Chains A and B, each alone.
Chain A
Amino acid sequence: MESQNDREIAIRVEGLTKSFGDKVVVRNLSMTVKRGQIYGFLGPNGSGKTTTIRMLCGLLTPDSGQGTCLGYDILTEADRIKERVGYMTQRFSLYQDLSIRENLEFVARIYGLENPTQAARDAIERLGLKGRENQLASDLSGGWKQRLSLGACILPSPDLLLLDEPTAGVDPKARRDFWNEIHALAAEGLTVLVSTHYMDEAERCHEIAYLAYGELLTHGTVAEVIGRSGLETWTVTGPEPHDLALELESTPGVDMVAPFGTSLHVSGRDHPALDQALKGFKARKDLTWERSEPSLEDVFIDLMQRSRDNFVEAKP
């Protein structure tokens, strides 16, 4: 019997670990995603996002750990999971030598939809590809390929979407449309796990998780993640920001300096040390200082730096 609680949970995994050769790609990862949520998966390249997603849909077998996806055991019930999950791969993975219609009909048949031709026709209309249905997938631009992939994923009306960097290399307008669609789907009750590098996309998620070097470093809502970071951030404007950045970076107590247009974000974890460090700079007449919230990017870069330090130290 499923408990009420279980029915509200789309993904619950504990202690997932996966290595390739002697390289640990995902280390002891635990996470919970509630149904109907858009869950953002962030982290630098090679942090284990794709590997985690693949373990969730049965494409990879974890070395250790356990969990469920849509209530099915990820170790033993991959077949059931595949029927209810739409997985959009990072690289376009529909058939380039099939037309849009043929690709969609193929997917519809594999999932055993009752009327594949009609299902494909409806999807083409929904995607705004009417009139182009006989074009080969290879002839589509990046943005349209991405739309087609998403269309193919949601065609069998899955309960969970796993999207692996769906908007990489797609223009801003197409990105916005894409996210509007994702929100519309979530509003209908679909759960979406999406990996991305874009901070604006992270902010559009209900919850986010940050991975680096195979470890889940933080998770929660955007506000929670920023609040938990313990970073104090100042924005400074002044002449020669590049020289100023170099100068600030070499000052003990300053953990991170990042340029934002003509201004700099200066952050530190140790608040008294940061105040001490900035004292001299604040006295300068040509600089304007303002206390600000750390951005999500500040938080992530800080997390990544710290975890790299740990990672490097941990190595003999």
Chain B
Amino acid sequence: MMNAPLRRRASAFSRFAAMFVKEFIQLKRDRVTFATMIIVPLMQLLLFGFAINTNPRHLPTAILLQEDSDIGRAIIGALKNTSYFDITRIASTRAEFDGWIKSGDILFGIEIPANFARAVRRGDNPSLLVVADASDPVAAGTALGSLDGIIGTALRGLHGLPDNSGAQPFTIVQQRRYNPAAVTSLNIVPGLLGTILTMTMLIFTSLSVTRELERGTMESLLSMPIDPLQIMLGKITPYIVVGFVQAAIILLAGVTIFAVPIDGSLALLIGVTILFVTATLSVGYTFSTIARNQLQAIQMSMMFFLPNILLSGFMFPFAGMPGWAQVIGQMLPLTHYLRTVRGIMLKGASASDLTTEIIWVAVLTVVVMSIAVTRFRRTLD
């Protein structure tokens, strides 16, 4: 009589144990899940810990020198000393300077006007112009905040300055371009356009080939006279339409609800969006040719999505990331698309301003598509 309930309890446990052991074995065999479990937290830790910097320093800055003077050099030296500004370019005309800001090559432009040194020495309190690309308010914010501090320190140790300790020797005029009120949504909405497209497009196509494998339809398909390029284009094209519709919805909502402007050409925006959607679909399709089942495909998509969020400049300023993170970021179509979209929508940039970024997206698309076509298994070997 005593044995019966005991035996029962034991068998309930052994059933649990059976299930546990089975699950454990399956987990161990499922390499991709296993890799996801290890890589995702590591990746998050590394990216958040090292790559992300909401107080970015060493931001690319151009100088427009209208005169060469000891005071001018002292100010540039002080700017460098804040470690927020890296003087990467010297402009010779105002137009050159404006063009760089529009294309995103520099985040700041500093103009030292003619006769600046003389005006300071005379005590005329001249103006120094600092132009900031404020389309990403986070990146521009702290650097601009540091400017006030340099007025006092820049000229220390220089001779021949008027001794009027109350007044400031010069004034810094800040000009925030593209998003003067530092409204976050203006920066986020164009970013979301790219991010949402990345996620949905990835998921759609990453399933497309594995679904055929899982359902057994691949065997028939491969026995028919159709080649991998035709299969890929046939699978991707419907989703270009889907992506286009998604983009239209996001843009419409952005313009009507968040009052995000579209300063540049709508046609260019559409063209670039289609190119970007194609790039992302190709990435998803490539995963699909590598994954053995739909779950693996989703896992790969998620692993790809994470750096897209963190390293593309969507969430955190690109310029603030260390070199290695910027290199990874450059390899992501989203990085270039974000710059393009922000350029078109907020800065009114034209195709010629954005040539480099557009070429990047196009090249990445071709590279990824070639990988997909060569990865596609034409046989069941």
Contact = CB atoms under 8 A, between A and B. Distances in A.
Interface of A: 54, 57-61, 79, 82-83, 85, 87, 89, 91-96, 107, 110-111
Q: Which 10 pairs between the two chains have the least Cβ-Cβ distance?
A: A93-B220, A87-B223, A82-B225, A83-B225, A91-B216, A89-B219, A110-B224, A93-B216, A59-B380, A93-B217
A82 B224 contact: yes
B159 interface: no
Nearest to A88: B220
B158 interface: no
A75 to B, nearest CB: 12
Contacts of A57: 223
A54 B381 CA distance: 10
Contact of B222 (A59, A61, A83, A94): A59
B203 to A, nearest CB: 18
Interface in B27-84: none
B95 interface: no
B224 A107 contact: yes
A252 B115 CA distance: 120
Interface of chain A, main secondary structure: loop
B3 interface: no
B225 A110 contact: yes
26 contacts: A57-B223, A58-B379, A59-B219, A59-B222, A59-B379, A59-B380, A60-B380, A60-B381, A61-B381, A79-B227, A82-B223, A82-B225, A83-B225, A87-B220, A89-B216, A89-B219, A89-B220, A91-B216, A92-B216, A93-B218, A95-B215, A95-B217, A110-B224, A110-B225, A110-B226, A111-B224
Interface in B323-381: 379-381
B240 to A, nearest CB: 20
User: Residue among A60, A87, A93, A111 with the most chain B CB within 10 A?
Assistant: A93
A58 B226 CA distance: 13
A94 B379 contact: no
A57 B225 CA distance: 11
A89 B227 CA distance: 19
Interface in B160-216: 215-216
A111 B225 CA distance: 7
Contact of A94 (B217, B225, B226, B227): B217
A79 B379 CA distance: 12
A54 B219 CA distance: 9
B129 to A, nearest CB: 63
B225 A79 contact: yes
A94 B223 CA distance: 12
Given A59-B379, A61-B381, A93 B224 contact: no
A6 to B, nearest CB: 22
A170 B36 CA distance: 44
Contacts of B223: 57-59, 82, 85, 87, 89
